[in-house]
A and B are shown apart, each in its own frame.
Chain A
Amino acid sequence: GAVVSQHPSRVICKSGTSVKIECRSLDFQATTMFWYRQFPKQSLMLMATSNEGSKATYEQGVEKDKFLINHASLTLSTLTVTSAHPEDSSFYICSARDVGGTDTQYFGPGTRLTVL
């Protein structure tokens, strides 16, 4: 099946620092990847759509200068949380769209970010 990996799985950082999260599709090419954020006991909220070779599309209310997205290849997208603050602490999950198969989205295992 379609496998998506994320790294790191868990990160703790100090307020004001930047954190980079990688999302990789391991056995398929993904022209489109999606970044979600999930706070405790809430559902997933889409942050942005990452398109290979072009700028990401951000959802309303998501600061593009704070959440930098780069989709440099068909198998890798990165999300950088810049100048992280405690309110950015959350579960960040990426998904990749398998256009070669059933056109569904497969999720990575998620990255739990804690900002002290």
Chain B
Amino acid sequence: QKEVEQNSGPLSVPEGAIASLNCTYSDRGSQSFFWYRQYSGKSPELIMFIYSNGDKEDGRFTAQLNKASQYVSLLIRDSQPSDSATYLCAVMEYGNKLVFGAGTILRVKS
């Protein structure tokens, strides 16, 4: 079983700050990486996916991938209280199955 590791948090940031969420994975051959957001009692919703080394930006979100270090991160700029949720990192493995990390709880304080 491939492993995906995340710091469980909670990560607390003030409103307007940058939140940085990190994830490491064990399978060096992994090619596809996803960030999902999950509010309490709800199902995950896709934020971003990234396949190539480097940065990928979408609005206030930036995903960063470093395959050599087996590391993927998510930056949230201008954090808002509505961003408070659990952020799940997922790595796609053989058979298009997603392996999820345990998630990082983010709390944005107003």
Contact = CB atoms under 8 A, between A and B. Distances in A.
A42 interface: yes
B43 A109 contact: yes
Interface residues of A, number: 21
A46 B94 CA distance: 13
A77 interface: no
B42 A110 contact: yes
B97 A34 contact: yes
A43 B43 contact: no
Interface string B93-104: 001111111110
A65 to B, nearest CB: 22
Question: What DSSP secondary structure best describes chain A's contact surface?
Answer: strand
Interface in B53-106: 88, 95-103
A2 B7 CA distance: 30
B102 A102 contact: no
A60 to B, nearest CB: 8
30 contacts: A32-B96, A34-B97, A34-B98, A42-B102, A43-B100, A43-B101, A43-B103, A46-B97, A46-B98, A46-B99, A49-B97, A57-B95, A95-B98, A97-B96, A102-B49, A103-B32, A103-B96, A104-B46, A105-B46, A105-B96, A106-B46, A107-B36, A107-B43, A107-B44, A107-B45, A107-B46, A108-B43, A109-B42, A109-B43, A110-B43
